[in-house]
Structure formats: C-alpha cells, structure tokens
Structure 1
C-alpha cells in the first residue's frame, strides 16, 4: 500500500514546508519550460543554413573622399582588379552585406500601388550579374542577369531595372506554390520580372520569419561609401584579405578601406546577443534545477529529523527498510505532482506573456512535458539518499526516551 492518507495527514501537520516546496517546483517548471523552449529556438536559428558559403567570403567598406574620379567607372576597374587576384572566385560592389544586421527592405506587390493586391516585405541587394557567384547561392530556376540588364545610375523609379532574382521562400509565399518564374512584382511602384529563383538566401537580418524573403536587383548606385564582397578559395581567403587594402589603394589612393572581415565573423557578431541570451538561459536552468533539488533534499532531511521517533517506532513494529523509503518517495511524489500541475499552467501563461512581449513563438507542449518528467526524476533522485538514511535508523535508538 502507498499509505497516501497517513502521508497526506502528515503533510497537513507540516504544511508550510510542503507549500513552499511545491511552489518552488511550480516556479521551476514554468521558468525551465520556457527557458528550454527559448534555448531550442536559439539553437535552431544558429544551425539554420544561410545559403552563403561563409568560409569563402569576406567583405569590406570603401570610403572614397577624392573628387577627381567617376565612382561608377572606378568601381568597374576595382571589381576587375579584385577578380584577377590569385585565389579570388568573384567580387561585387553591393549596397548591403548579408547577415550583418544592416541593409534595405521594402514592400512588394502583385499589382501596382495603389491597387489592392497581395503584399510582402522584401529585403533586397543592389548588385550585378556577379552576385550569384560571389554569394555562392544555388539557382533553382531561371537564369542569372545579363550584363545589359544591370542599370547604373541613381533613379530607380524612373530609369531603374526591369528584372529581379528572388529567394525560393519569397516565391512560395508570394505565389502560394505556383512557379514564380516570369511573373511580375512591383517594388516601389516599379515592375520587375522574376527571371530566377535561388534556393536559400538570407537577408541582412537572418533572425525571424522574414529573413528568407530576399531578392537581388540589378541596380548599381555607387556612393562615396560603398561595400564590397569578395569570394575566394577557402584556403586563400586569409591571404587575399591581407593584400586587399594595398591592392585597392594602388588603384586609387584617395579613399579608406575599413572593416575587412569574413562573412562568418560578421554573422557571429550579429548573433552575439542570441549566444549570450542562450548561455544565460542555460545558467538559469541549471541554477533553478539545483536549487529545487537542494530544496527537496533539505525538506526530506528536515522531515526525517522531526520523525526520527516515528520512523524508529515503525521499524520496531516490523516495517521494512523498503517501506520507509517508499513512504518518503510517495510523499515527495505527491508534493511534486501538485507543483508540476500548477507549474504547467503557469508555464503556458508565462509563454503567452513572452509571446506577446517579445514576438516569439508559442510555447510547445513537448517542452512542458519534458521539463515535468525531468523535474519528477530529479526530485525522486534528490529524496532517495535521505530516505535510505531514514531506513537505516535503528529501532532501539529511535524509540529511546530522552
């Protein structure tokens, strides 16, 4: 028999400790469930494929202060020079570097505004026909830009491009499973024909549901400050990064080259907050679980010290060691069950609060169940050692009057 009624009566006589413990278990369940869910979310994000060959790409900023050159012509000469460097696969002048947290996005429509039609946000890269090779992304459908399709200038709406390459995620969401090839979207009221679809191509902001809605627009508008992306053989990247500044200054010295770094370094910098948050959540989970385990251990030892005479009397009346151990295990299971039930409801409530406050996904049931099972096992392990000590209390010593 589990002796639930006597255990319940005993808990009622020392209810303060039991209430504090099941509240602690409830709090741990609520917080750990949500923390585990958020840790998993961060891990899933960090493992996502960006589409770029990050180990082969580096970027740098180019600040030109000289006034005696045509920036567009100089950009063409610079690109040609960079592509001739041994180990370089391709290079492109671009207005935004992927995965860095800084870029451009706009609304795209199926019909020209102000007509009503489906609309989606769209991140875009202004670049030329060398972008696909520089990015290293996979072209699933269609073709790359032709050189004559690349527009050089500053008037996007008036004399801008007519074509665009989009990501598969954007194409599927905008056209709901239909092929996007040959269809037209409107960006800033300008019609752009989709001539290509790439598999995966993350935006400058790789975190979030919109991070995969990306495009490449064949438009070059070189400013005094611009960015350059270079793709090399993986083994040659470091050596190219060391010489790129001297090479660029040899072409024209009235400028400054800044922030030369690999794409994975830029991504790691962007992800630093996520990594820090994940580590903090892991520490929080460990601390809460340890504190709860110590609380269970301490309450059990306290109960044993209060019931030494009672335990000894039961042993004298023929109770086996296994009966004593089972008593404390059942007592702990009862407290734990109440705490887990309350904690599970609190977990979903906390999850909803976090979802509304920080726009994260809703807490999934599996994390609550997993946390509950883990805490239950932990609580049983925490109580078994003091329960075994209680079972070893000698009847003759425990029942001796003081």
Structure 2
C-alpha cells in the first residue's frame, strides 16, 4: 500500500523525477563511455615495461645509405656490436628490427596463430640476436635461442626459413590458455603459410612493452632469431650499467658511427628507454588527464544537480510532509521515503541509460572502431550513480524529516 502511494506521489510530481531521470541517463552514458576510453588510454601508461630501470638505450633507425652502402651486411653489424660492447659500462648490445616503441622506425606486425586450435592474437615482432639478454628480460619457461636457431639473412629469408620463436608471457596465455606454450607450433598469420613449416615455440619470456604499446597487445611480443643481413635500416639496443648510462650515451654515436662507416655519426639519435616511452605515451597522458577532467566534472554536476532538484522537490512538498508528521509519521519514515523515492527514480534513469549507452557504444564501435564497454562497466556505472543519488538526496531528506508538523502545515 505504501509503495502505491509513493508511486502516485511520484506521478503527481512527475516533472522533477523526469529531470532526475534525464540527468542520470546523460551521466551514465558519458561516465561509462568516458571511463572506457580512460581505461584504454591508461592501460599502456600503467603497463610494466619489463626492462631494468635506467639501463637501456635505443637508437633510431640507421640507414645504410648514410654509410654509402645499399644494405647493411651482417659482418658490418656484428663488427659494430663488438665495438659497442667494448665501451665501459655496456652489458649487452643487439642490432635488430621492430624495437620497443618503434623507436627504430621499423614496425613489424604479425598475427601468431595456434596451428592446432586456430586461435589468433595480434602481436609485434622483434627480430635480432641476443634480444632477451639485451632487454634485460628473463626466460620463464623453456629456453632462449641457441646458435642453431639463428638465421642470417634478409627479411624474406627470415620469414621463410625461421623455425624457432620466443613469445611473451601475455601472448602465451592468450594463445594457449589451457596449457604450456613451449613446444607448440604457430603460424605467423591466421592462415597456414604455403611453402614453409610452422614456427616452434622454444621459450616464454617475461613481459615487455610492444612496439605500438596500444590496445590489448601492449605485452604481446613475438621474438625471432635473426642476424640481420641485406637490410636497409637497422636499430641498436644497448643495455648498460645504470650508473654509466649517460657516459655510454655520449660515446655511442661516435663509436657506432665509426664502426659502421657512417658519414655523419653525430646525427645519430640515441634515446633513453624511459624518454622514448614517455614520448610515445605523451598523447595517452594528455588524453587521460582530459578524460579524468570530464569524469570529475560530470560527477560533480550529477551530485549537485540531484541535490538541487531534491531540495526544490522537498520545498514544494513541505505541507505534505507536515500532514504526514501530524498523522504519526516519524522522522525515520520521512527520511526513508525520500531515499527510496530517489532510489526508484535513479534506477529508472540507470536502466534507460544502459539501453541508450549500449546503442551509443555500438555506434562508436562501428564508426570509430572504438572498443565497446563491457556489460560489467555499465553495471558498475549504474551502481555508482545510485550511490551518488543516495548521497545527493541525503541532505534534503534529513532536512525534510526535521520539519515540525506545525510549521509544515502553516506553509502555503
């Protein structure tokens, strides 16, 4: 019976509840979609790098034409690696392609596919020698590449003749969620490649950031055992003792440029890993702050809006409250009534907001290729707004419950 009276009251004062419903619908659509975008922007910022802090230097791509050569030969790259290893403070060095955060300029993508189940995952490809050691990673299962695994040659030769692969822990879990990845066979693309055998996974290494550092492939990395020969561009990764990093960074262009016979080694760009990561994620950082501002602003507007509307609604119903008190309603009854009314109104807005939000999310996915928020995000957003609503109406409801019957019944 009390519920029917409450519904009649809401219907009689329908304009105010409708305003609250509209506000909740708008807030839910904005909050959930903005929160989903924020999560996508923050994921690479918060992702573990996997490399030792302050110990890695990266060169931008080095073009063979800068040394008067058509292509880099393995002999010249191997000689350059040995020259760099001789610098005091250098622990390991590797020439390769598809370096972290695509600093080297050569971004290589693949779609590793389980040869048995057909499960596919997008991943970035790192190619080079001694990459695990140079990046300071750890082999978690299986083994690192052996000398017999390495191929010396061009990109085409690498693609056609490489038989072994290392994959990151995240990629292993996504490709083989039900078992160990070591010993499994994969293709480099969703369909089997003609004229070549699948790659055999010899080991799983600790996660490191991919070249693109975006989306779900932030830690999806595939390594190939490659000693580069007949490549037009190459990048170097150098692991150093942190205390000597700056000294190595100053000497690296001269030593590397001289070993490679480059005409202008001083133009070589060398970056600290942390600086390259910060530059690569600058857009994510700016976008995250913007989205956080939107979330905070919308949250404040929702709370203030519901508080203001609830307070005005209480003021309009002062006489009604006085009559209820005169008929024996206690302060707790009045408080619970307003809290429950607000709960019903906000829940109605949340249901409509979820329905509208799903439509908007699908439209964004189709036209802008944005990932749709999961249903759990909509449920969490609705719960947050219900809590916001209860907190916002608490003050007006408490004031309403304290209105003396005599004062209320005298109100016009």
Normalising by the residue count of structure 1, what TM-score does the alignment of the two structures yield? 0.80
The structural deviation recorded for 1:220 is 0.9
Q: Which residue of 2 aligns with 1:35?
A: 34
Distance 1:376 1:317 in 2: 31
Work out whether residues 65 and 224 of structure 1, in 8 Å CA contact, stay in contact via their aligned partners in 2.
no
1:271 aligns with 2:278: no
Mapping of 1:85-234 within 5 angstroms?
85-100=87-102, 102=105, 103-106=107-110, 123-128=124-129, 130-139=130-139, 140-146=141-147, 149-152=150-153, 154=154, 156-157=156-157, 162-167=162-167, 173=175, 177=179, 181=183, 189=195, 191=197, 194=200, 196-199=202-205, 200=207, 202-210=209-217, 212-221=220-229, 225-234=233-242
1:297 aligns with 2:296: no
Work out whether residues 71 and 232 of structure 2, in 8 Å CA contact, stay in contact via their aligned partners in 1.
no
Of residues 317, 320, 329, the one that matches 2:339 is 329
Listed one character per residue, the Cα deviations across residues 177-234 of structure 1 (whole Å, up to 9, x for unaligned) are 5765496857785557647323245542232345525122414136564321111123
Work out whether residues 166 and 215 of structure 1, in 8 Å CA contact, stay in contact via their aligned partners in 2.
yes
Which secondary structure state, in structure 1, belongs to the residue aligned with residue 383 of structure 2? helix
Work out whether residues 161 and 219 of structure 1, in 8 Å CA contact, stay in contact via their aligned partners in 2.
no
Listed one character per residue, the Cα deviations across residues 11-57 of structure 1 (whole Å, up to 9, x for unaligned) are 32332221121121122223323433444454444444454446421
Distance 2:223 2:99 in 1: 13
Q: Structure 1 123/400 Cα, relative in aligned 2: closer, same or farther at 3 Å?
A: closer
Gaps of 5+ in 1: 112-116
Q: How many residues align?
A: 394
Q: Which residue of 2 aligns with 1:77?
A: 79
More moved, 391-400 vs 68-77: 68-77
Q: Structure 1 109/337 Cα, relative in aligned 2: closer, same or farther at 3 Å?
A: closer
Listed one character per residue, the Cα deviations across residues 64-94 of structure 1 (whole Å, up to 9, x for unaligned) are 6343899534433321121111211111222
Q: Which residue of 2 aligns with 1:235?
A: 243
Distance 2:333 2:383 in 1: 24
Of residues 244, 264, 273, the one that matches 1:255 is 264
Which secondary structure state, in structure 2, belongs to the residue aligned with residue 65 of structure 1? helix
Q: Structure 1 35/120 Cα, relative in aligned 2: closer, same or farther at 3 Å?
A: closer
The structural deviation recorded for 1:336 is 1.4
Work out whether residues 111 and 121 of structure 2, in 8 Å CA contact, stay in contact via their aligned partners in 1.
yes
Work out whether residues 142 and 182 of structure 2, in 8 Å CA contact, stay in contact via their aligned partners in 1.
no
Normalising by the residue count of structure 2, what TM-score does the alignment of the two structures yield? 0.79
1:19 aligns with 2:18: yes
Work out whether residues 167 and 201 of structure 2, in 8 Å CA contact, stay in contact via their aligned partners in 1.
no
Question: Pairwise CA RMSD of aligned residues?
Answer: 3.8
The structural deviation recorded for 1:338 is 1.2
Q: Which residue of 2 aligns with 1:7?
A: 6
Which secondary structure state, in structure 2, belongs to the residue aligned with residue 99 of structure 1? helix
